[in-house]
Amino acid sequence: MQDTVDAEVPMDFLPPDEHPCRVTVRMRYNSCDPLAVQLTIPLPDDSSVTWVFARELLAEGVDRSCGEGDVRIAPAGNGRPGQVLIRFRVREREARFATDADSLVAFLDRTGEVVPIGGEEQHPCFRWHLEAELKSIGRSSR
């Protein structure tokens, strides 16, 4: 059985040397990919970009700084109590967003009702998704 959690979360886009800009970001969780969350950011030209990263990273980032790669999440501090910073990086370019921690926790709570955090490997779709990804990697490495 496949369950999906969708949420629209207001975030502040924090461009360097400019004023923040409020955007509504769509967050999505699908039980058939129980380890991941999707965050879709609207762009000014009516297109969007979607980032997929570990649900655990999002959960940990609400309370402490985490992430070593293209996605980093941390409590904001610096005059933004109750806020969380999410940073996406591609090569030397970076996009930063700030959002209310309560919004992220509410989303995570809803995902936990579908697949408990820490119980991802017991979900029936986990093995299927893992095998599909490994086959995909095998095909692309030939």
The pLDDT tens digits for 103-136 are: 999 999 999 998 888 766 666 666 666 666 677 7
Which strands make up the sheet holding 4-13, listed edge to edge? 48-54, 36-42, 21-30, 4-13, 93-100, 80-90, 71-77
Residue type for 76, please?
A: A
Instruction: Tell me the pTM.
Output: 0.83
Question: What residues in the chain have per-residue pLDDT under 70?
Answer: 1-2, 79-80, 119-133, 138-142
Quote the pLDDT of residue 95. 93
Q: Is 7 exposed, middle or buried (0-12, 13-18, 19+ CB in 10 A)?
A: middle
> Going by C-beta distance under 8 Å and a sequence separation of 6 or more, which residues neighbour residue 53?
36, 37, 39, 71
Alpha helices in the chain (DSSP H): 55-61, 101-114, 124-140
Quote the pLDDT of residue 140. 63
From CA 40, how far away is CA 24, in angstroms rounded?
9
